[in-house]
Structure 1
Amino acid sequence: MSSTGMIKFILRAGFLGKLINKASSGKFLIHKEDEKDYVIPEKYLLNQDEYESNDKEEEFIGTGSPNSTSTTTYDLDSKYIIVTWDGEDDPENPNNWPLPIRIYVSFITGVMSTFTYIASANYTPGMKQLQEEFKIDQTKATLPLSLFVIGYGIGPMIFSPLSEHKSIGRVKIFIVTLFIFAILQIPTALAKNITSLTILRFISGIFSSPSLAMGGGVFVDMYSLPYMPVGIALWGIGAYLGVSLGPVVGAALQVGTNDWRWSFWFLLIVSAALFVIYLTFIPETYHPMILNEKAERLRRLTGNPNIVVQQDIDSKNQTVSESIREILWRPIEIGIFEPVILLINIYISILYAIMYLWFEAFPYYYGEIRGFGTMTTGLTYLSIVTGTLIGVGIYIFVTFRQYTNPMLRDEPIYPEVFIPISIFGSILLPVGIFIFGWSATSTNHWFGSLIGGALYGASGLIMFQTLLNYIGMSFFRFVASAFASNAFMRSVVGGCFPLFGRAFFKNLSTKKFPVAWGSTILGVLTLLLISVPVLFYINGPKLRATSKYSGTGEKIVDEELESNSERNL
């Protein structure tokens, strides 16, 4: 596909392009079904006799009578024609999109994840100014951060399962939530007291959230199984970098404007730009929705009302309220009753809490103890960014060797393939925390502590990504809901810890080692947590065998391995 063809494809497949196509009755930004020389596949063409035959089949098939209590079989689906891809090489299938388009969508999705995490903490460098204006202490000034984090944990529980509906998909949710988020930044920037600021931040957190769980689903939509973990890594980089870049961006805004409110004007500008991009230039990636739109066009062309997608068959006996209830209940059910997801969620929640607590050591040590300025303190978080980039290099190298290449060779692959590197990351994590804590003295050079921050960044990226891949491979068909349950638990738990982070380190500080003993406590906790990925490596298959939703990862791989391994990245 030429560069001009790719641009046309993006415009046609974008939300605005679809509206233009419908408004013009298929005259502008046309799909292949709208072209004059399009040949309708024979399977979608049924004559009236076949309709009547199928209707009769639906009435009753079996022994006895409809009123009898004997075992009866009803052929309810025989009249429906399920829309599928036009072969393995169908260009409408996101797995077959040109690589530049997939990279482009991946990049924007990663930017969305980065932006969400930047939005959570970018106001914190101006916290002292906020405290003085509202006459509050640091704990109350931290509430908008904590409530934002809790909010973006709640949001995916609603938006992620909705994105798995054939009529909604991913892009519509991004568009609606970005628009609302952008509007919310206006009253947030103009807030007159801490109460209104905190409430608005909580609501903003909810509407900033889709990328945190649904973003992973976008990568699963576009990349076939051999390359899916690498795709999810691109999403994870954006998320993990955002946590570290938030204070850096906030510090730059604070130094440049000397006004903490500009943090929210910045969020307004960026979210408005992202809204325009998603409205116009991002194609839908969710397979059932793309097929559902194709089914609509085929029904219009053929006049055949029985052209449907698989979700229509699966939910045809459900009312609208029942469908909504099932959709919204799914991430809760997966998060509570699936042992694999529950244990991973608890584990990652603890890691998340430790991360947010440990991050509070940075402004305390570099700002208060060593006397760094606002911008310089913010730049110390770049040590975590450096470690994250190193970690993703290690992760991609190992993943290609242990997962991608064996799958391309048609070798059997199981979700536990990701656990050994997770164990490595879990060992590296306490090492980074200990190095940071005991190098961050009041007398020695501060550079050694940044090495600990870099090791933490590398280990955190490796651990989060491998466990998310474990979830994604085990719960392939409901990955957005599985990620939503994880985002909810880790955000609600982790969001509470910044409230007492500074007090935690300050109360345990000594004159020479201001953050050593606090870091030691966190390091010991992470040492104990090494046992968790080891448990998954040993007992993972047994835990997954009890799952209702996973269908076991190896079964999915066996079903799709042959076709996926033949596709090019």
Structure 2
Amino acid sequence: MFVLNFLKSCLFDSLTNHWFVRNTDLSTDLQKYNDKYDSYADMIDDDWDKETNYDNPKNWPVYLKAFFCFEIGFLCLSVYIGSSIYTAGMKDLQKEFAVGREVSLLPMVLFVLGYGIGPIFFAPISEYYKIGRSPVYITTLFLFALLQIPTALSQSITAICILRFLNGVFASPVLAMGAASVSDVIKLPYIPTVIGGWAVCSLCGPSLGPVLGAVIASSKGWRWCFWFLLIITGSSLLSFALFLPETYPPTLKLKRARRLRELTGNPNIRTNDELRHLAVDRGFAKEYLLRSIEITVSEPVVLFINIYSALIYSILYLWYETFPMVFEEMYGFTPLLEGVSATSMLVGVILGSAVYTIFIYFKYTKRSLKGEVVYPEVFLPMAVMGGFLLPVGIFIFAWSATPKAHWCGPLIGAGIAGFANFIIFETLINYLGMSFPYYYASVIASNGLWRSVAACVAPLYAQPLYTNLATNNYPVGWGSSVLGFTATAMILIPLGFYWKGPQVRSSSKFTDVFEDI
């Protein structure tokens, strides 16, 4: 690790070409303090937002920001692929270990549960000013990559289940911290647009997993799905270990204060974050580790959006059960073609991201660049539109999936649902982020827990739902309609917050930071 840290320091500093600038800034800090400021904390905060301060990630060159966002997006995509990649080999796993369908689902279910639980602890730790984001990413990614080896070599279903749960826990930080990390380096008017790219990775990963898994399992066997995960996560680990910089502002300010303390010999030089958290250090667990739970329980905005997000992800993971019923059993597709059919949702997600980007530019980015104050509710009309389209896609999928009709109908319905899923998910995530900017990672961690619990349970009740409600001509008609009716009712959530959102946010103790943005 010492060698990696040394290489990282040398390579990153040479890439940014900021080493000389940082030391020059430090050499003039004392004069700035004597001439203008009452405290070093005020000086550090005031200097932070200046265009010439390259310690601030928002002032990095565009190519460096793009590389950083690519790292985060690729890792996020890899983790979500990992959740579903082995599903194509489940039948082979059932034969090898002599287990039924429900037991063979447990490795996926426990992985999804693990990546929901992990951020509850890791995301608040990344917001602790003495730690930051980079150590959390690298440590957990190393453990995630390492665990692929015993998973691929496991000789019992019990071992696979335990290891997959641990895989999910250690894969989880990027799922909660990814959007927060992107917001660390991107300036405010462009944050929703760039986070849209992160959301594409979040929603495309589960759809790509079965496709890749079908190719790998059919040629190499189901164990090679985990060796493939080792390869892609290992490459991410190498990239992170060498090039991933710290981006969390309070942590970077602390590093500057420490350098000033070394330069001046004055131990009283502290940042405002240090002064604010001196008392908190003694209650670290209560203040940080329980923050996600506290925000969920005490904030109606977070609670109801989490419920809506949970529905979206449960529908996404239910497709893994409905697609084989429709395309393999009814239309006679091969497992590989059935996996390819899942990309219809991916196409919908990509189209949704294009429409979303255009909407965000005119409704948010353009206005922000003009200096207008744009409130979080600007995202909600788009969420309402997605809310109406989601049940439309579900109903088309449900009632066009019949032996009497062509297989294009269900694919079109799934594509519309994928389009709507992206629109709803991304607009609500941005609404949460703008409502709770200082606690972004904790809020997303809370959202991720709800999504993962819903997603991990969905495959377990899918079979009874569709079997009990199936008819000869419409095997998924009424089962999917239950989801469609539920999705229709959920439209009330963005409508309600568009109507009463400002009043609800004004009573929150966590949203006051928004007024300063």
Q: Sort the TM-score into its range (normalised by shorter chain).
A: over 0.9
Of 271, 278, 290, 2:240 maps to 278
Residue in structure 1 matched with residue 213 of structure 2 by the alignment: 250
Unaligned 5+ segments in structure 1 are: 1-13, 48-76, 561-569
Given the alignment of the two structures, is residue 41 of structure 1 paired with residue 2 of structure 2, yes or no? Answer: no
Spell out, residue by residue over 1:516-535, the C-alpha distance to the aligned partner (whole angstroms, 9 max, x if none). 22111111111111111111
Shift of 1:357: 2.2
Larger deviation, residues 174-183 vs 365-374: 365-374
- Distance of 1:87 and 1:167 partners within structure 2: 21
**CA displacement 1:9-51 (0-9 Å, x = unmatched):** xxxxx95446669xxxx9xx9833775897332357679xxxx
8 A Cα contact 1:147 1:495, kept in partner: yes
Pick from 315, 330, 333 the counterpart of residue 277 of structure 2: 315
Amino acid at match of 1:221: D
1:168 and 2:156 are equivalent in the alignment: no
8 A Cα contact 1:121 1:247, kept in partner? yes
Q: Match for 2:250 among 281, 288, 295?
A: 288
Which aligned pairs between 1:369-448 and structure 2 lie closer than 5 A? 369-448=330-409
Give the CA deviation at 1:506. Answer: 2.8
Deviations 1:333-379 (A, max 9, x none): 11111111111112212232233224421122112222211211110
Residues 189, 264 of structure 1: 8 Å contact kept: yes
Deviations 1:49-88 (A, max 9, x none): xxxxxxxxxxxxxxxxxxxxxxxxxxxx968665233552
Decide whether the 8 Å contact of 1:81 with 1:306 is kept in 2. Answer: no
- Residues 62-211 of structure 1 aligned to structure 2 (within 5 Å): 83-84=44-45, 85=47, 88-89=50-51, 90-211=53-174
Identify, as 1 or 2, the structure richer in helix. 2
1:551-562, aligned counterparts within 5 Å?
A: 551=512, 553=514, 555-556=515-516, 560=517
Distance in 1 between residues matched to 2:311 and 2:9, nearest whole Å:
45
Partner in structure 2 of residue 268 of structure 1: 230
Report if aligned partners of 2:21, 2:54 keep a CA contact under 8 Å in 1. no
Query: For the structure 1 residues 200 and 82, does the alpha-carbon distance in structure 2 shift closer, same or farther, using more than 3 Å as the test?
Result: farther
2 CA distance for matches of 1:456 and 1:475?
Answer: 28
1:298 partnered with 2:260: yes
Structure 2 residue matching 1:39: 3-state secondary structure = helix
Residue 203 of structure 2 corresponds to which residue in structure 1?
240
Structure 1 pair 465–548 and aligned structure 2 pair: CA distance change class (3 A): same
Counterparts of 1:219 and 1:508, CA distance in 2: 44
Kindly report which structure 2 residues correspond to 1:378-527, keeping only aligned pairs within 5 A, or say none: 378-527=339-488
Change (3 A) 1:330 1:43: farther
CA distance in 2 between partners of 1:80 and 1:238 (Å) = 38
Give the distance between the partners of 2:203 and 2:295, measured in 1 at CA. Answer: 24
Whether contact under 8 Å (2:83, 2:112) holds in the other structure is yes
Q: Secondary structure at the match of 1:514?
A: coil
Q: CA deviation at 1:490?
A: 1.8
Kindly state the Cα deviation for residue 209 of structure 1 after the two structures are TM-superposed: 0.3
Count of matched residue positions in the alignment of Structure 1 and Structure 2: 510
TM-score, with structure 1 as normaliser:
0.85
* Amino acid paired to 2:258: E
Q: Identify which of 222, 227, 234 aligns with 2:190.
A: 227
Take 2:161 and 2:337, find their aligned partners in 1: how far apart are those partners?
27
Shift of 1:552: 6.5
Out of 327, 334, 339, the position equivalent to 2:300 is 339
Aligned to 2:309: 348
Q: Which amino acid aligns with 1:156?
A: P
CA deviation vs aligned residue, 1:109-131 (integer Å, no higher than 9, x gap): 11111111100010000000000
1:531 to 487, 492, 495: 492
Name the CA distance, whole Å, in 1 between partners of 2:457 and 2:142: 27
Q: Is contact 2:129–2:251 with CA below 8 Å preserved after alignment?
A: yes
| AA partner of residue 267 (structure 2) | P
Distance 1:437 1:157 in 2: 36
For 1:281 and 1:226, how far apart are their aligned partners in 2? 26
- Kindly report the root-mean-square deviation, in angstroms, between the aligned alpha carbons of the 2 structures: 2.5
The structure having more radius of gyration, on CA atoms, is: 1
Unaligned runs of 5+ in 2: none
C-alpha contact (below 8 Å) 1:109/1:211 kept by paired residues = yes
Letter in 1 for 2:311: I
- Counterpart CA distance in 2 for 1:499 and 1:302 is 62
Deviations 1:450-505 (A, max 9, x none): 11111111100000000000000000011001111111122122211111223322
CA distance in 2, matches of 1:456, 1:382: 12
